[in-house]
Every structure is written in C-alpha cells, then in structure tokens.
Amino acid sequence: MLTREEYCKVIEVLEREPNKGEIAVFEAMWSEHCSYKSSKRWFHLFNEKAPYIELGIGEGAGLINLGDDLLVGLGLESHNHPSAISPYDGAATGVGGIIRDILSQGCKPIAVLDSIRFGNLEESQHSQYLLENVVRGISFYGNCCGIPTVGGEVEFAPQFENNCLVNAMCVGVVNKNKVVRSIASKPGSFLVLYGSRTGRDGIHGVSFASKDLSDKSDRDRPAVQIGDPLMEKILIDVTLDLVEKELLDGLQDLGGGGLSCAVSEMAYKGNTGALIRLEDVHLREEDMEPWEILVSESQERMLAVVEADKLDAVVNILKKHDLTFGVIGEVTGNSHCIAYFKGEKILDLPVDLIVDGFPEPERKTEKPDYLKEEKILLPEITDLKQEILKLLSSPNIGSKAWVYQQYDQHVQTQTVIPAGHDAAVLKLDSGKYIALSLDCNSFMVYLDPYNGTANSAAEAMRNLISTGAKPLAFVDCLNFGNPENPDSYWQLVESIKGLGQFSHDFEIPVVGGNVSLYNESFIDGNRERINPTPTIGMIGIIENPDKLIKNSFKREGNFVICIGKCDG
C-alpha cells in the first residue's frame, strides 16, 4: 500500500488522481522489494570496480570476464516471505526466479547454491515442516531443470522460527559476444512476452514481501507464486537458442512486479517508453482485470525486445517449441509507459516516475538495547570433552548430508567438488575451473553487524582460497528486519558499511545482490526479529587445476598446521 507521502507525490507529478491500474503499478514498483528505497542510498559504499567486471549492480546478473571471451554470471535472490507460508512453492519459485535472472543476460545456468535458515529443529515441528518442504522445493525445481545444486549452507536459531530465510544463488556462463542486456533502447522494436500463461498467482507478491509477517499472514497465500520447472527447462532451451542466433535486443525475467516492472525498468535503462496491449497477453484465467495482468507474478515468463527485421525468426522459434507467446507492444520514444486493454487506456505514466520517482523515506538509526548493555563474560569451561561433544552435536555444526543428498549435484557433469566441502568447484567446458561459496554467520552479525558482516564475507573468501581459488567477485543478499524500526535499520546500515569496507580492503568487488527487509513478525502480540543475515555468495577462479585442494586428510603422518591467529 502506498504511504500518504507517496500518494501525494503521484498526484503532484501527474497533476491528477491515478486510476486503479496505475495505483497497482506504484504499489508494486515503490515497494521495498522493487525500489530498494531504504537501502539503495548506501550502495555507494561498495567497491564495484575491477578490470574483469563486465556488468555489475543493476542487471539481472553480474558478469565476470574469465578470459578468452568467457563470462560467468552471478546472481543471488531471496524468497523468504513466500517460503514462510508455503515452503515448497516459495522455495521452488525462488530457485526458478534466480535462474531466469541469470538467463536474462544470455547466460546458460550451470549451478545453483542455497542458503536456508530455520528455527530450532529439536523444539519445533513447524521448523521441521519448513525445512523438509523447502529442501523438497529446491530439489525438485533444480533437478527438473537439469541444473545441479552444488553447495550452500543451513543454519538453525530460534530467531528464524517464524521468519525462515531462503536465499538462492545461480551461476551461468556466456560468450562475451552473446551477452543480452535488460534494456529497451530502440524505438520501434517489438515487445514479446513468452513462456507460461499469466494468472492470478503472485499478485501483490512484492507488497507481501515488503511487510512484517503476522499470525494472519496465511491469508496472503495467493501472493505466493506457483512454479513449473518443466516449463522453465523449455524456457531455458528456447532462450539460449534465441541468444545464440543473436535475435534479441533486450531481455528481462518477469519477477517481482510482473509485466509492469519488466517493461518500465527496460524502458528506463534505455531512456525510452513503451506501449503495451494487455489483451494480447495470454491468460490462464480469462476474467482477469487489466491491473491484475499488469502486476501478476506468474512464473516462467520472459519479456524480449525484438527488432522488426528479426520478429519473424523469433516467432518461428517460439512456434517450433510450441511455447505460448504474444507480441504485446512496442518500444516508443516518449519516455512514457502506456497500456491499453481492448481500446481503453489503463495506464499512462512517466517511466522515470515509476522506476525512480518515489520519495525517499526518512529512516532513523539507533543501536539496539541488547548491544548497549554491559557485555556478559562467557562461563569458564570445566569439562572440555563435554563442551566439544555438545558443539559437535549441534545441528549447526553436524553434517548437512540429509539436505544436499536430495539435490542432483552432478547433472551437466561439470561438478568437481560438490556440496559438503568448503566450496563447490566446477570445471567449465572451456577447461577453466571456478569455485563457489555461499556463507553467513548470523550469530556473529547479531553481536556486531559491522565486523560480523565483514567476517562473513571473509569466511566466504577463505572457503574459496581453501580450494586453491583466487576470489574474483561477490553478490550479497541482505536479510534484515523492519527498516521503519530504528534498531533494525541500524543493523542494516552497519552491515552495509562493514561489507563495503571489506570489498575495498580486499579489492573484491560487489557485482549484484538483493535486499530482503521486513523479516519480523508479530505473533500473539510479540515482536520477533531474525538475526541480521547478510548472505555472501562469492566466486573465484582456480588458475592452475593441478593445485586444486580438497578439505580431507590425505596420509598418516602429515602435519596439521593452523595458519593465522590462534588466540582469543
């Protein structure tokens, strides 16, 4: 829902009242999930530059040049709120969404990693249910798509009882000369929507993701999208065919905000406008209202920008694969997004107002009370053996084999080191080796957001180094509480500052990411907030495969050496 200040801004710019369809678009595009209105102001603190970075923050995927015209794409997204109320579909569509983000740059998806967090398994049947179904959703979607799930992490803490976290990372490869941008830069080009039909699933999804959960959140179940991984597999194959034949001038996944987001963002980046005809969108439910078509978040859909002389070739390929599609509009030069439905104008808005015209909300920071209190000293250890056994029996330290054994880790036959090690290692078709890690220590971030975040990034870096890889770049997923609460916002700001400092100190750039806020809940009148969780997904290159290292002991008599500080 728009705030009073936001609604007044719309009226001020338009010099009129917005209609129902326009309000729906603003509610989606100015949501925290789409606009980053509480966090974007801090992104300047990140190091985004390195000679090998081809594309960075602002695209569907960051692109890193490995040499020989080979680029690797990297993306990380969250699907927390949907997974909390519908764990199977929420997790599955989270995987599907990040795969399509990678695909939208022309990349072939080659690997998925996941970072998932739940409440205390020993005390909560609810958390057991969430874990089982989240893992099942991730496994089913990735396995059906033919993309290996090669790594990640699982963490348990009471703070995640009502707000589980599901973060998914995807990696892909593309030839430098085949990269596609999420941009509509040429007036006269056609807008082609292809993939699944459009339904009512996912409507208000971004609005749902931009508010706290409560004991009434089950009513938001229709906001959770329903995935179809077999359709996703077809979508991947068709899109890669279009990319290989160089038939696309622009491409974007339909994720949060649906059609309204994809059209307006592509036009905004290209300094153009768009005219769309909603009656040409193929529907799953024929009685849908125009505003529902605009903001539906039905899955497995892509929006392509196609020049006129290539339209017939694109249409022929889509028909060949029997894929539902519609030529739904054109790119214009008037910097407005205009939509019609059967001759009636539904939408007429300046593109820059939709994408970046929101009034920046005032946010206050205040150090949480628990950090203002005098530090409590840890009790003295009297029985070291018992303490070690207690640690080893913790679900946070014990084996996660039950999780990753449900994933197909070797489909595509590129996995050299799978899940269960410090980092996953893949051998690309080019012969190059890459290492991947996905990490966060939310307990450490809770105690010290600045240093805890920097240390979580350092852990991801060390995990890569332990395989023999040189870290190249990373993406982040910032999972925090309600930014309207000063203590939650303080945690977010301190975390970004720590991550920014890390990126400069170690000269490892940030190439993309995601922000998931409002991970708080009101249950029976009690406010509960997650541990602040800035998940770090990092990639490195193993320049000499002969030096590849695994984390197992090799031979009896070998020395065990601790490198680094051993005190404290």
Q: What is the pLDDT of residues 184-235, one digit of tens each?
A: 999 999 999 999 999 988 786 555 555 556 555 555 556 577 889 999 999 9
Backbone angles phi, psi at 360, to 5 degrees: -65, 120
Backbone angles phi, psi at 523, to 5 degrees: -120, 120
How many structural domains does the chain have?
A: 2
- Options 33, 204, 336, 421, the catalytic residue: 33
Q: Would you state the pLDDT for residue 211?
A: 53
**Residue 14 domain-assigned?**
no
**Residue 374 domain-assigned?**
yes
**Residue 153 domain-assigned?**
yes
Q: Do 246 and 134 share a domain, yes or no?
A: no
**Residue 155 domain-assigned?**
yes
Residues in the chain: 568
Q: Do 216 and 165 share a domain, yes or no?
A: no
Distance CA 519, CA 532 (A): 9
**Residue 186 domain-assigned?**
yes
Residue 154 near residue 117 (C-beta atoms within 8 A): yes
The CATH number assigned to the domain holding 215 equals 3.90.650.10
Active site residue 33: yes
Q: Do 237 and 274 share a domain, yes or no?
A: yes
Strand-strand pairing, 213-214 and 520-523: parallel
Residue 327 near residue 190 (C-beta atoms within 8 A): yes
- Options 79, 81, 204, 336, the catalytic residue: 79
Q: Do 455 and 417 share a domain, yes or no?
A: yes
Please report, rounded to a whole number, the percentage of residues in the chain having pLDDT higher than 90.
81
Residue 482 near residue 517 (C-beta atoms within 8 A): yes
**Residue where a domain terminates, one of 321, 336, 356:** 356
The CATH number assigned to the domain holding 160 equals 3.30.1330.10
pLDDT at 49 over 90: yes
Which residue pairs, CB below 8 angstroms and at least 24 apart, start in 410-416?
410/148, 411/143, 411/146, 411/147, 411/148, 412/110, 412/146, 412/147, 412/148, 414/110, 414/111, 414/148, 415/111, 415/148, 415/150, 416/548
User: In which region does residue 195 sit, left (phi positive, over 0), alpha (psi from -120 to 50) or beta (all else)?
Assistant: left
Q: Do 161 and 205 share a domain, yes or no?
A: no
Q: Would you state the pLDDT for residue 568?
A: 57
Q: Would you state the pLDDT for residue 207?
A: 53
Distance CA 510, CA 476 (A): 8
Domain that holds residue 267: 180-356
Q: Do 520 and 402 share a domain, yes or no?
A: yes
Distance CA 220, CA 501 (A): 38
Please, what is the end-to-end C-alpha distance for the chain in angstroms?
A: 49
Q: Would you state the pLDDT for residue 193?
A: 99
**Residue 24 domain-assigned?**
no
Q: In what order do the strands lie in the sheet with 424-427?
A: 415-417, 424-427, 433-439, 533-542, 470-479, 510-516
CA distances, 517 to each of 35, 43, 79, 211, 491 (Å): 12, 15, 11, 8, 11
**Residue where a domain terminates, one of 334, 356, 378:** 356
Average pLDDT of the segment spanning 482-498: 98
Residue 146 near residue 38 (C-beta atoms within 8 A): no
Q: Do 376 and 470 share a domain, yes or no?
A: yes
* pLDDT tens, position by position, 509-561: 999 999 999 999 887 778 899 999 999 999 999 998 888 888 888 889 988 88
Distance CA 2, CA 10 (A): 10
Average pLDDT of the chain is 93
**Residue where a domain terminates, one of 326, 356, 386:** 356
Q: Do 294 and 368 share a domain, yes or no?
A: no
* pLDDT tens, position by position, 98-136: 999 999 999 999 999 999 999 998 889 999 999 999 999
**Residue 12 domain-assigned?**
no
For the whole model, what pTM was predicted? 0.94
Cα-only R_g, the chain? 23
Q: Do 203 and 87 share a domain, yes or no?
A: no
Q: Do 197 and 170 share a domain, yes or no?
A: no
Q: Do 70 and 166 share a domain, yes or no?
A: yes
Q: Do 384 and 333 share a domain, yes or no?
A: no
**Residue 98 domain-assigned?**
yes
